[in-house]
Amino acid sequence: MSPWFWICFSSLLQFAYSEKRNFQIVIDEIKMRNIDPEVFEKLDCDLWQVNNRSYYNSSQVFKNPVNDFSVHAILDFWKPNSKKIQIYDGTFDMCYFLENVQTNRLFKIYAKGVKKHSSVIFKCPFEPNVDYALNNMSFDEEDFPKFIPLGKFRCTLEYLINKQLSARAFVTGKVIAR
């Protein structure tokens, strides 16, 4: 697993209009599917909960250097008693994103989290046989803006390496009041 599904949460924020910041982001499940074993030597993610807070460790090892990495992200959201809303459907160029994290407030939050929880630098080209791992990652709600809607979400991520679909991640969870 990788931190990329953070993209989904950042897009949540653009949709934000709830009342107060007393919310918590809970991840119920993360499923990873390694589609192209020629690309990923290893790709996994462990999720656990402590005191209603979600933590995860993720690990990602490439077989070859990677310099062309995009993520197609889809974020669906359900507010209580309402139909599915598609909040985001877009493709991110990860190499560009990682090089330009300083240009955007949301990107900076992401970069801060990764730096704190990883011992390697996430940037292109990704080196082969290096574990791009994140340990003990969680979401610090204080890093998020005050307004975020409550409800359930599902995030689907497609990893496109050299423009080929190489892996998929499914993340489900909820934004609850605390």
Ligand X SMILES: *[C@@H]1O[C@H](CO)[C@@H](O)[C@H](O)[C@H]1NC(C)=O
The least distance separating ligand X from the CB of residue 13, rounded to whole angstroms, comes to 22
Question: Of 17, 20, 52, 102, which lies in the binding site for ligand X, with binding defined by CB under 6 A?
Answer: 52
| One-character DSSP codes across 64-88 | S-B--EEEEEEEEEE-TT--EEEEE
Q: Tokens 């459907």 — which residue? A: 89
The distance of Cα 142 from the centroid of its chain, to the nearest Å, equals: 17
Q: By C-beta, is 87 or 109 nearer to ligand X?
A: 109
Site string for ligand X, 62-101 (x = CB under 6 A): ----------------------------------------
Q: Between residue 127 and residue 156, which ones bind ligand X under the rule CB under 6 A?
A: 135-136
The least distance separating ligand X from the CB of residue 29, rounded to whole angstroms, comes to 14
Q: In what order do the strands lie in the sheet with 134-137?
A: 40-50, 53-62, 134-137
3-state secondary structure of 49: strand
Binding residues (CB under 6 A) for ligand X: these are 46, 48, 51-52, 57, 135-136
